Amino acid sequence: MWLWLALLSAFLLGFYDITKKKALAKNGPIEVLFAATAISTLLLSPCLVLYSGPWMHHLMLMAKAVLVSASWISGMFALKLLPITTVSPLKATRPFFVVLLSLLIFGERLNALQYAGVALALASVAIMSLSGRKEASGSGSRSGYVAIAVSIAAGVASALYDKHIMASMEPLFVQSWTNLYITVIVGVYLLIARGISSDNAPLRWDWMLLLTAVIITGADMAYFFALGSEGALLSVISIVRRCSVIITFVFGALIFKEKNLRGKSLALLILLAGMVCLMLGNQ
């Protein structure tokens, strides 16, 4: 059951990237992130009443919220600066780093297929980087790649942390309260950013904001329930969720008319081959 929940999460994540990209047409990255998390928190507000926990658990969720906020904020800037067909495949490499760090931190051991999967992922990153250079240059492009690197690092740390906290917490408790803390963090960041910047354009309502919030709420709910299931494997769940890149790649080409898809297609195929190797290696 947990594998099907992971697949559902991957399906929703693919459309989340699409709606998020569309929402960025009318608002800035932080405004979109704040609106989406605030609406998601509102959708989950009944869980804030139904689920409570000791202060230690709340402190742990606050720490998770910091990691997630760092990942999302930098990821939003990357999506603003780089094509979605570049950002999504690069984000899809996070499960491979989760596997590597699980090897070092938790003492897990990889078999031959898993090592092959990691090698293919690194090859995919190299090809994607070369493809990205053909379509973008200048400080904006460099800033975009720095942002996506920060997003990946914080996302990997958050995934590893999830494995620890889900052993003692309910999925809806983790999702609802973490979402609330993320909303507060992003809100404070937004106020500070607006105080520093002279560009203080107001948040413009867009139905894509509501759709983005609904989709990410469903994707995260499926993820937390999958991770909290008996026998669930973080490495497999992380890999399966990154299959969302297939949806974002196809729609990025069809809707946003992005170019230089040949090199990215090769990188995507190599990445998918790496996912298959890791999945087979976990059986």
Report the alpha-carbon distance of residue 2 to residue 139 in Å, rounded: 42
Report the alpha-carbon distance of residue 120 to residue 279 in Å, rounded: 13
Encoded tokens for 228: 């909290």
Half-sphere exposure of 88 (CA within 13 A, CB side): 31
pLDDT of residue 272: 80
pTM of the model as a whole: 0.80
**Helix (H) or strand (E) segment spanning residue 119:** helix 112-135
Encoded tokens for 109: 């051991």
**What is the count of structural domains for the chain?**
1
> For each successive 10 residues of the chain (283 residues), what is the average pLDDT?
87 88 84 92 93 91 95 82 73 75 71 80 70 52 85 91 88 95 94 74 85 95 89 77 76 64 74 78 67
Would you give the DSSP letter of residue 205? P
- The answer to whether the beta carbons of residues 249 and 89 sit under 8 Å apart is yes
pLDDT of residue 78: 84
Domain that holds residue 134: 2-281
Those residues whose C-beta lies under 8 Å from the C-beta of residue 223, and which sit 6 or more positions away, are: 5, 6, 9, 237, 241
Cα angle value 269/225/41 (rounded, 5°):
100
Encoded tokens for 161: 């942390």
Nearest to 97 by CA among 242, 266, 213, 206: 242
Exposed, middle or buried by CB within 10 Å (0-12, 13-18, 19+), for 89?
buried
Exposed, middle or buried by CB within 10 Å (0-12, 13-18, 19+), for 262?
exposed
**Helix (H) or strand (E) segment spanning residue 23:** helix 2-23
